[in-house]
């Protein structure tokens, strides 16, 4: 979405268009983009209106892999890892929670295992999406609260 070409950010989206292709629910020029319903401007792994793409959400969005000083390794680019990390997406008891949105049916197992270990070491809870469900990873109380939110029809971050 944001093919960041700033000199102080080493990474660029290149041919990744994971956030344009419906895995994140966004609205682009009045079109709802959702799973199975990619942005109509995403053509052959490129944004066909790149110079004129909307500021919100396109220019403003930077995923956890693209972010400056991202801890994610190169191979975790969203279209390769099958997940988009939204780092510190919300807080649980004052602790930032990472959210990993699936690209396709489910993230690659290697990527989820890497993310779990990273979250364990950094003591950040994690919510990740797989096969259409949200899975909570972290302290037992966190898992319980997330399960309660989900069972009552809420999103984990509300
Ligand atoms: S998911 Fe990240 S790397 Fe991929 S296009 Fe979006 S911002 Fe760029
Ligand atoms: S307008 Fe371009 S950058 Fe924005 S979602 Fe569509 S393809 Fe991606």
Residues 47 and 117 in one domain: no
Residues 129 and 144 in one domain: yes
Per-residue pLDDT for 85 more than 60? yes
Contact 124, 137 (CB under 8 A): no
Q: How far is the CA of 31 from the centre of ligand 1 (A)?
A: 19
Residues 157 and 93 in one domain: yes
Residue 9: CB atoms within 10 A of its CB come to 15
Q: Is residue 42 part of a domain?
A: yes
C-alpha span between 61 and 98 (Å, rounded): 16
Pocket residues: Cβ below 6 A from ligand 2: 1, 20, 28, 39, 41-42, 47, 49, 53, 58
Residues 83 and 51 in one domain: no
Residues 21 and 70 in one domain: no
Q: Is residue 30 part of a domain?
A: yes
Q: What is the pLDDT of residues 1-51, one digit of tens each?
A: 654 433 344 799 999 999 999 999 999 999 999 999 999 999 998 999 999
Report CA-CA distances (Å) from 20 to 41, 64, 137, 154. 8, 15, 27, 25
Q: Whose CA is nearest to atom 5 of ligand 2?
A: 20
Give the total number of structural domains in the chain: 2
Domain encompassing residue 52: 14-61
Residues 23 and 52 in one domain: yes
Q: What pTM, to 2 d.p., does this model score? A: 0.92
């Amino acid at each position: 979405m944001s093919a960041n070409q700033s000199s102080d950010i080493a990474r660029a989206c290149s041919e990744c268009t994971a956030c344009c292709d419906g895995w994140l629910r966004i609205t682009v020029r009045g079109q709802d983009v959702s799973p199975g319903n990619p942005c109509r401007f995403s053509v052959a792994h490129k944004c066909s209106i790149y110079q004129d793409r909307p500021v919100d959400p396109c220019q403003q969005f930077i995923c956890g892999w693209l972010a400056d000083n991202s801890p994610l390794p190169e191979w975790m680019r969203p279209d390769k890892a099958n997940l988009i990390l939204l780092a510190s997406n919300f807080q649980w008891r004052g602790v930032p929670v990472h959210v990993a949105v699936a690209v396709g049916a489910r993230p690659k197992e290697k990527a989820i295992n890497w993310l779990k270990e990273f979250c364990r070491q950094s003591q950040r809870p994690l919510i990740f999406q797989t096969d259409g469900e949200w899975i909570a990873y972290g302290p037992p109380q966190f898992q319980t609260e997330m399960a309660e939110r989900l069972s009552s029809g809420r999103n984990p971050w509300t």
